[in-house]
Structure 1
């Protein structure tokens, strides 16, 4: 039991090392040697826990998705209305503060680029995106039901919100210094509130 736990902890350390190197230098320059140096491990130990850099990347996609979902669940724990839960989701994805992981934003953008190039990465990336869409649709559906509005366009609204967030990640990574501070969560909230208000009443 202890050995399994130690192995899992070491794997997470390696994955977070990839995250750090990749966020700063990109995936191509995130060599096994650079990952090992960041993790404070011998390169041989990296290969002991993972067959390849690609396998570490696949683990990272799932880990980031899990961390994002966990942050949402923590922030939504005190939410009492559908609107509060939706706001908690938006803040969990876009707001700074406790539980935020700035390096993860840059790493996620790099992962999106690798998903275009690598079928294996694309598969796990699409799985993570599908899970996000499902959650957003559920949150929006609950809000629209409470507001007694039609839900026939909920899929499009969910896709629009997710696209906004992914675009905000791209801008934060590539042009963060020139974007207004704290704009993303506020703008996403206003966008989706206005979009829901535009839906016809039941």
Structure 2
């Protein structure tokens, strides 16, 4: 009985903390960092402002948690394609690139959220660390997929190729999220696969 109560309390607190993070993310996406005041976050999450202090030592800590969540979501949603089926190396890379260039990864709200946090990278070392961790997590997956391709290369070249491919994907993600009606269905994926194929000198378009 007592164990059940403890589990329920932990899950409830995790849910409340999560609700505050999501509320902060929504407000930053809608109106920028200035819209995510403590009062507005509490109101959006349906709690009192004082409760935020129970879960976060400051608004800055909550902001960092929201930015970390965004970075995690981006990598998670791109990687979800790798869980489906028994794919070969080329198909796995093609699936990862394609997933990175379509919803829910390509999304105006996520772009607004990312842009809202961007300025803080210049002044907050912890925000820069979160950005670097998120970037490296995504790029490490990309680099691993590239290294598994049937081609002659070495670790240093796989790293350089991953950086180049990541740059292409980032650029297409940015434009696709900023102009959601500016591209035909599947166009960003097709362009991304062609560009990555050219960088790696291996055809992914049929994978």
Decide: shared fold, TM above 0.5: yes
Is 1:192 the counterpart of 2:196 in the alignment?
yes
Match of residue 21 from structure 1 = 27
Report the TM-score, using the length of structure 2 for normalisation: 0.80
Task: Return the alpha-carbon distance in structure 2 between the equivalents of residues 36 and 142 of structure 1.
Answer: 47
Is 1:91 the counterpart of 2:98 in the alignment?
yes
Q: CA RMSD in A?
A: 2.4
On the 8 A contact 1:23/1:104 being kept in 2, the answer is: yes
Match of residue 158 from structure 1 = 162
Q: Which SS does the other structure have where 2:33 is aligned?
A: coil
Task: Return the alpha-carbon distance in structure 1 between the equivalents of residues 107 and 19 of structure 2.
Answer: 15
Task: Return the alpha-carbon distance in structure 1 between the equivalents of residues 89 and 128 of structure 2.
Answer: 32
Match of residue 172 from structure 2 = 168
Q: Between 2-11 and 53-62, report the one with greater CA deviation.
A: 53-62
The change in CA–CA distance for 1:70 and 1:132 in structure 2 (over 3 A counts) is closer
How far did 1:156 drift? Answer: 2.1
How far did 1:155 drift? Answer: 1.8
For structure 2, the 5+ residue unaligned runs are 1-6, 203-207
Highest CA radius of gyration, 1 or 2? Answer: 2
For structure 1, the 5+ residue unaligned runs are none
Match of residue 128 from structure 1 = 134
How far did 1:75 drift? Answer: 1.6
The change in CA–CA distance for 1:115 and 1:65 in structure 2 (over 3 A counts) is same
Task: Return the alpha-carbon distance in structure 1 between the equivalents of residues 181 and 106 of structure 2.
Answer: 20
On the 8 A contact 2:106/2:173 being kept in 1, the answer is: no
Match of residue 41 from structure 1 = 47
Match of residue 180 from structure 1 = 183
Q: Between 122-131 and 44-53, report the one with greater CA deviation.
A: 44-53
How far did 1:9 drift? Answer: 1.0
Q: Which SS does the other structure have where 2:57 is aligned?
A: coil
How far did 1:19 drift? Answer: 1.0
Pairs aligned (count): 193
How far did 1:102 drift? Answer: 5.0
On the 8 A contact 2:28/2:35 being kept in 1, the answer is: yes
